[in-house]
Structure 1
Amino acid sequence: MRKYSSTVASIAAIALLSACGGGGESNAKGPLKEVDKTTQEPAEIIVYTMAGGSAEDFNRDYGDSFHKKYPNYTLKFITDMTGNNFEKLDRLAANGTQVDLVFATTGWLEKQLFQYGYAYDMTELAKKNKVDLDRFNPSYSDILGGKAFGGGIYYFPMQANLPLLYYNKALFDKFGVPYPKDGMSWDEFYDMSRRMTRNDGGVQYSGYIPSTNYLFRGNPVSIPILKPGTTTPTINSDDRWKLFFQKLIADAANSVDPGYYKGRNDFNEFFQGTNAVVTLVSGNMISSRTQLEPMSFDVISMPTLKENPGIGPQPITTGIAVTKMAKNKDAAMEALKHIVSNDVQSELTKRGIVPVVKNVDVQKLLGTENYFKDKNWSAVFYNKWASFTYTGAMAVDLNGIYTNYGNAVLLGTSDINTALRQAEEEALKKVEELKTMIVVPNTY
């Protein structure tokens, strides 16, 4: 999503205490309820994000309903809007700001947790607070006690964005080409794109301009950035990268004239009306309403690979974590549970924020109160989401390197084998640099 968009019911431990003799104080009125002290003792929970937004937005989405449910707790939202994410993290660490919960787009979240020392394994805390891990979309199984981080749980998914194809219906009508549809293969999609790429009346129209950013972040083949359990880049050793580069990048480049994509901007040209199909995310129907409102458009699911049928992209995810320095970790976990509860997820889902829970009734609410409620929101769940690839503190940096070499293949300045080799060389150097910065080692 181009900018930040704005949670299992609480489980109170109730014990029935029988009035009895033997030194105990009798109670003529019968058994008493002992309310869980963690929800009765006042606590301030400080929530930090580098993603921006306002306290008003956060309270609308999460805080107001949490305060109503837990009047003795206070959720305090803080953020930092100055500079880039690296500067924000440096500043937060230097200031020693007390934070109990942090949330951010994954990749940046792991960097904060492991490179900057906020990481806390929530496995036992989740058990203590009876968190039902089976509630979440199966895509997230690795980070919720699965393969990720040595089986530890360092964050929960909070909200999702799924890459989709947005298409300009007016351009398809203009050239008499049938609209694209859910369930297309990449080969079928490229055939359609060729028919739409043309010069008409001196205006150059593109059938499709790829977004390597979303292709890598939503990698449908679920290739890890590093070999599991190591700090070794996968880019030139995992053969799935060759499939990825060929089918999603080189084949797109081969569907047009050599060098065609040089200087082209997928986002701008779509809104200008000269690019028929663009990869955006579901959340753009919130964040890009102004640009989309005058357009005749709809959305479809991303095409799939014949080698990986029925599997769509990974969800681009915002994660949330209890920090190592949280003063009241039980209170922080109650807030986290609230944020990912069906009730809160349902309200966000209605507005067009993709839920991270697998509850079908929640999923059916997607977009029902969005301005674009008549669009094809079902495209989000048309295919099974690819397994969410867990990452460590190096992911943001290495993914940027991999994406740059994907661009080189797309623009025709490099062949696949050369790009993979050079990406590996650059990634190895970056790994050695980052090893000196990471203060909380983790299993990648």
Structure 2
Amino acid sequence: MDGKKTGFRNKRLVPYLAAGTALLLLAACGGKEKEGDAPGPQQGAASKEPVELTVWQTVLNVPEEQFMQEYGNKIKEKFPEVTLRFLPYAGKGSTISDLLAAGQVPDIVYASIGHVFFGILDPNLQYDMTELIQKNKFDLSRFDPAVIERQRLLAGGGIYGLPTSMDTLVLYYNKDIFDKFGLSYPRNGMTWDETYELARKLNRTEDGVSYRGVGMAMGAMFTVNPLSLQSVDPATGKSRFVSDDGFKKLFDNFARFYHLPGNGVDKQTAALAKQREMFDKEKVTAMFVNTAAFATSTYKDTMNWDVVRLPSFSESPGVGSQPIPTYFYITNPSKKKEKAFEVISYLTSDEFQHYASKKGKYTVLSDPKIRNTFGDDIPYFQGKNVKGMFPVKNALPAPLTKFDSLALASLNAQFDQVIIGPKDVNTALREAAEDADKKIEAEKKKQ
């Protein structure tokens, strides 16, 4: 199957995954033999002979300069014997299929979880690192459990890639709107019910301007949903939108916000781009659910913003979205697996994760000391609640299939019909399931 047709192709999520990958690229290092070092491969265990490692990335149009700034320069400092050959993905002619056909086999692939089929599994490049992990006594317990579980699910209990950074969903808010109406700011630990009541108070017209309580990046919300719902049953290849009651719970919960008087949408305002624009450009939406990456990439000084954790369901307090991790993978054809593992494990070390965290890269490690350095080197983060963006607990990841993007596209389209009206939730979910199943069957026939 053509790799371009697999992975998360949901148009409403891809910008977030791409942003999360491109902007959270710097992740990092290992253990505790000495201050700043993490348990990983024994220092000096791999050869110090000069070696070239070829790296291919799956994010469209990330230039070599950015890769070197975020990863390569630190790798060169740590491993002067390593020469990095960077292969950018720039569309036609530079896909993994194109590279393999030309005999250019990368040693390392780095990709967000949304690109794992396109970049790793479809071209059959996956390599289980378990033996290298055991040989080098690499400590997986240091990581956020959700990002390791994601790999366990992909590899049937093994590990194809080591996580280097991640993204998550958070709730941004415009402080000026809250000040204007004399309302208390959102706080960490809110439930969706509390957020709904707050949003209700913010849908109003003042001085000819219509303000909205809340907007959401719904594509991302469904894909990394906090209930860990699986879109497609891997055993049957059928969507689960009707068979799993959790999807009705998601629809009911999120649709009610758009049914509040003053927060209704039409075809234009339901679109993701317009939802974002009303928050960060028009500045008429008070709260907006988006990825944490947007704090470093887009918002900056665009408004008087702050941020809190994603609201949670009352029965699972503190549980956020599923994480959106980026992994570095060793390819199966590589003849340089030992050195590649040494380099990748450095990118998960305490030393590098601490460095990256200060620059606004969301760490994959559980160590609160590293999490508490998040954004320390970013001037416009000062005074903001960015350290509170980390959920108390990430939602466990749902197993992936290569058909998830097809199913999610159907789900998102039907959700729009619910919030625009007049379609009811049960009908929408049934039609989403029917549409998804047809698309999946058609895709299977192409294989």
Query: TM class, shorter-chain normalised?
Result: 0.7 to 0.9
Offset, 1:389: 2.6
Query: What's 1:138 paired with?
Result: 145
Offset, 1:87: 8.3
Q: Out of 256, 260, 268, which is 1:263 matched to? A: 268
For 2:70 and 2:155, the matched residues in 1 are separated by 30
Q: Out of 389, 394, 401, which is 2:398 matched to? A: 389
2:329 partner SS = strand
Offset, 1:222: 0.7
CA contact (8 A) 2:212 2:263 kept: no
Query: CA 1:414–1:91 in structure 2 vs 1: closer, same or farther (change >3 Å)?
Result: farther
CA contact (8 A) 1:190 1:255 kept: no
Superposed CA deviations along residues 87-113 of structure 1, whole A, max 9, x for unmatched, are 845544544431111122212123322
Q: Out of 112, 128, 146, which is 1:121 matched to? A: 128
Query: CA 1:410–1:325 in structure 2 vs 1: closer, same or farther (change >3 Å)?
Result: farther
Offset, 1:12: 5.3
Query: What is the one-letter code of the residue matched to 1:408?
Result: Q
Superposed CA deviations along residues 238-286 of structure 1, whole A, max 9, x for unmatched, are 1211111111x22223323695354222211112211111122222122
CA contact (8 A) 2:171 2:308 kept: yes
- RMSD over aligned Cα atoms: 2.5
Query: What's 1:54 paired with?
Result: 63
Query: What's 1:321 paired with?
Result: 329
1:150 partner SS = coil
Offset, 1:61: 2.5
Query: What is the one-letter code of the residue matched to 2:247?
Result: W
Query: What is the one-letter code of the residue matched to 1:188?
Result: E
For 1:300 and 1:12, the matched residues in 2 are separated by 37
How do 1:168-179 residues align onto structure 2 when only pairs under 5 Å count?
168-179=174-185
Query: What's 2:288 paired with?
Result: 278
Q: Out of 37, 41, 54, which is 2:49 matched to? A: 41
For 1:234 and 1:96, the matched residues in 2 are separated by 40
CA contact (8 A) 2:310 2:320 kept: yes
Query: What's 1:108 paired with?
Result: 115
2:214 partner SS = coil
Query: What is the one-letter code of the residue matched to 1:281?
Result: T
Q: Does 1:208 align with 2:208?
A: no
1:221 partner SS = coil
Q: Does 1:196 align with 2:205?
A: no
Offset, 1:205: 1.3
Query: What's 2:319 paired with?
Result: 311
CA contact (8 A) 2:204 2:262 kept: no
For 2:193 and 2:39, the matched residues in 1 are separated by 48
For 1:226 and 1:332, the matched residues in 2 are separated by 34
Offset, 1:416: 1.6
2:171 partner SS = strand
1:280 partner SS = strand
Q: Which has the larger radius of gyration?
A: 1
Query: What's 1:364 paired with?
Result: 372
For 1:401 and 1:112, the matched residues in 2 are separated by 24
Query: What is the one-letter code of the residue matched to 1:181?
Result: R
Query: What's 1:28 paired with?
Result: none
For 1:77 and 1:87, the matched residues in 2 are separated by 12
Offset, 1:353: 1.1
Offset, 1:391: 1.7
Offset, 1:356: 0.6
Query: What is the one-letter code of the residue matched to 2:67?
Result: F
Q: Which moved more, 1:210-219 or 1:250-259?
A: 250-259
Query: What is the one-letter code of the residue matched to 1:251?
Result: R
Query: What's 1:98 paired with?
Result: 105
Structure 1 runs not aligned, ≥5 long: 15-34, 439-444
Structure 2 runs not aligned, ≥5 long: 1-15, 31-37
1:241 partner SS = helix
- TM-score when scaled to structure 1? 0.85
Query: CA 1:228–1:156 in structure 2 vs 1: closer, same or farther (change >3 Å)?
Result: farther
Query: What is the one-letter code of the residue matched to 1:276?
Result: A
Offset, 1:381: 2.2
Q: How many residue pairs end up in the alignment?
A: 411
For 2:122 and 2:445, the matched residues in 1 are separated by 9
Q: Out of 296, 299, 312, which is 2:304 matched to? A: 296
Q: Percent identity?
A: 31
For 2:440 and 2:306, the matched residues in 1 are separated by 41
1:104 partner SS = strand
Q: Out of 351, 354, 357, which is 1:343 matched to? A: 351
For 1:54 and 1:240, the matched residues in 2 are separated by 41
Query: What is the one-letter code of the residue matched to 1:239?
Result: D
Query: CA 1:318–1:135 in structure 2 vs 1: closer, same or farther (change >3 Å)?
Result: same
- TM-score when scaled to structure 2? 0.84
Q: Out of 193, 202, 205, which is 1:187 matched to? A: 193
